[in-house]
Amino acid sequence: SCPYLTLSIGHKMPLIGLGTWKSAPGLVKQAVLCALDCGYRHFDCAAAYGNEREVGEALLERVGTGKQIKREEVFVTSKLWNTKHHPEDVESSCRKTLAELSLQYLDLYLIHWPMAFERGEVLMPRNDDGTMRHGDTHYRDTWKVMEGLLDQGLVKAIGLSNFNAKQIDDILSICKYKPVVNQVECHPYLIQKELLKYCHDHGIALTAYSPLGSPDRPWTSPGEPQLLDDPQILAIAGRYGKTPAQVILRWQVQRGVVCIPKSTTPSRIQQNIQVFDFTLSNDDMKQIECFNRNERLIIPTIEVSIKSVWLPLHTPNFKT
C-alpha cells in the first residue's frame, strides 16, 4: 500500500492521491476505478470540479461495507467553493458533496480559496465587465463553521487551500481546531520553500496540486515549454530509469509533500504511484530545488475563469 503521512490529528493521509480537477465527466469514473485497482487510497475532489457525482459512482462500486475496500482504508478530500463561505451555506455544501460522493463522512474538507464570491448557485458570479462578484464573508467566520462540521462528525479533518502564511496565522489565532493541511500549487518551478517550512513548523501538512505543472491547463500556449519536458528533469529521470513525472513526484514525497497528480490515462495513473521503489540522492534533491522560478501556473483570476471567454486562453506564463 502507498506510504502515508500522519496528520496532526493522527489520521493517515497517503502521500500520493488521484487528482480529479479537469478530469472530464465520462472519464473520471474509470480513472477512479483504475486508481483503486492500482493501489490508490487517496482521492482529491472538490464541488467546483463538477464531477463529484461520477467520482462517487466509482467509490460506491468498490468502497464500503461488503465491498472490496473498507471505507476506512480510503482517504477522500473535498473542498468548499467560494460561493459557499457564508456560515449558513457551509453545512449544506458539505452535505451535498457527501451525497454526490456517496459518503457518510469526508476524511478532509478544505476551504478551497481564502476569498468569498457572491452567494448563490452560480459558480463564477461576475459583473458585466467580467470581474468577479465578491462576497463579504471573512474566511475566519467560515472556519468557525468548518469546525462545527468536525463536531458533527461530517468530516474527520479540516484544512485550507491556497492560503498564504499570513492567512494561516489568522486562522491559527482564532481557531478551536487547527487546520491539518494546506493545499497549494507546488512543483519544481514553484517549490514553496518558505510556505512548506511555515506549514511543517506549525504541524500542517502541505499538499501539492498541479504537481506535474498541469500540462492540460486550459490557458497554456501552443509551444510553451512544459515542466514534464524540462531537459534537466529528463536527464535526472534518465539516470534513474524513471519517467519525469516519477522523478518530480518522488522529489516531493521525499521532502514530505503530499501529491495529487491528475490523470485519466490508465498507464499514467499506474506510473504516478510507483515512486516508492527508488530514492533520489541529496544532490539531485538539491538540484531540483534550483529549478525554482517562483512561477505560478494557476492564479485565482485564471483558475476561476476557465469556462469563460473574457480571459484569453493564450495567456503567457504569469510570474509571482
Nearer to ligand A2P, 180 or 186 (CB): 186
Nearest CB to ligand A2P, comparing residues 148 and 244: 244
Considering the complex, what minimum distance in angstroms separates the CB of residue 213 from ligand A2P?
5
Least separation, in Å, of the C-beta of 227 and ligand A2P? 8
Instruction: Look at residues 250, 140, 184, 175 and name the one whose alpha carbon lies nearest to residue 44.
Output: 184
Q: Which residues contact 143 (CB under 8 A, 6 or more apart)?
A: 111, 158, 171, 174, 175, 179
Map 137-163 to HEC letters. Answer: CCHHHHHHHHHHHHHHCCECCEEEECC
- Residue whose C-alpha cell reads 474538507 in the numeric block: 109
Catalytic residue among 4, 40, 49, 198: 49
Give 90 or 227: the residue with its C-beta nearer to ligand A2P: 227
Number of CB atoms found within 10 A of residue 165's CB: 15
42 annotated as a binding-site residue: no
Taking the complex as a whole, how short is the minimal distance between the CB of residue 237 and ligand A2P, in angstroms?
A: 11
Q: Which is nearer to ligand A2P, 215 or 225 (CB)?
A: 215
Check: CB of residue 222 under 8 Å from CB of residue 273: no
- 89 phi, psi to nearest 5 deg: -105, -10
The SS3 call for residue 106 is strand
Strand (E) or helix (H) holding 43 = strand 42-44
Residues in touch with ligand A2P (CB under 6 A) = 19, 210-216, 228, 243, 245, 261-265, 268, 271-272
Shortest distance in whole angstroms from residue 124 CB to ligand A2P:
20
Q: Active site includes 49?
A: yes
What residues form the annotated binding site? 112
Q: Looking at the annotation, which residues are catalytic? A: 49
